[in-house]
């Protein structure tokens, strides 16, 4: 719970949906400033219990995490009129995990949103580093306003009712 609270409150992440073992969060930082990219925000699906690595999850937590990601992905893809979804998880520091808490990035996609499809993984790495910096309260950050985040979260929350 301590880590979940830190992720959702201190870093400015806004809760979209809570399930038995997982939670979906909207990040306050824009996903991409690229003109081709239609998606400006991304959603993180996290385990509610603090678990540093994917293998640390129980079978119930693993199932709930992926079922939550599936629901979030389906709804976001439809909402953004996408044609595909990228689900990304970095499991350990050498895999690019900068926040020591299991989480899945959920990104609805459209043709041409990245010039080369694999560029999305570079973008995810940048977002991971930004999220890690947000956990350090002494760093400067340029988040969207609370009003902007609440409006976006309200739109997304309605997808998961």
Query: Catalytic amino acids?
Result: 103
> What's the half-sphere exposure (Cβ side, CA atoms, 13 Å) at 84?
10
Q: Which residues pair with 88 in a beta bridge?
A: 105
Give dist(CA 138, CA 113) in Å, integer: 34
Tokens of 124: 């995810």
C-beta of residue 156 within 8 angstroms of C-beta of residue 76: yes
φ, ψ dihedrals at 63, nearest 5°: -60, -50
Dihedral of CA atoms 22, 150, 35, 103 in degrees, nearest 10, equals -10
Angle at CA of residue 43, ends 150 and 88, nearest 5°: 170
> Residue written as tokens 């709804």?
75
């Amino acid at each position: 719970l301590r880590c979940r609270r830190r992720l959702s409150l201190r870093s400015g992440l806004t809760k979209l949906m809570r399930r038995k073992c997982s939670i979906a969060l909207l990040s306050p930082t824009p996903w991409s400033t690229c003109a081709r990219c239609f998606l400006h925000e991304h959603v993180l699906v996290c385990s509610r219990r603090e678990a540093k690595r994917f293998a640390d999850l129980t079978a119930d937590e693993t199932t709930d995490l992926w079922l939550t990601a599936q629901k979030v992905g389906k709804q976001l893809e439809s909402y953004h009129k996408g044609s595909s979804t990228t689900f990304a998880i970095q499991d350990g520091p050498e895999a690019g995990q900068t926040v020591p808490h299991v989480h899945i990035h959920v990104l609805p996609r459209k043709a041409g949103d990245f010039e080369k499809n694999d560029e999305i993984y570079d973008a995810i790495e940048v977002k991971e580093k930004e999220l890690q910096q947000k956990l350090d309260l002494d760093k400067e950050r340029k988040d969207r306003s609370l009003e902007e985040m609440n409006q976006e979260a309200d739109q997304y929350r309605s997808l998961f009712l």
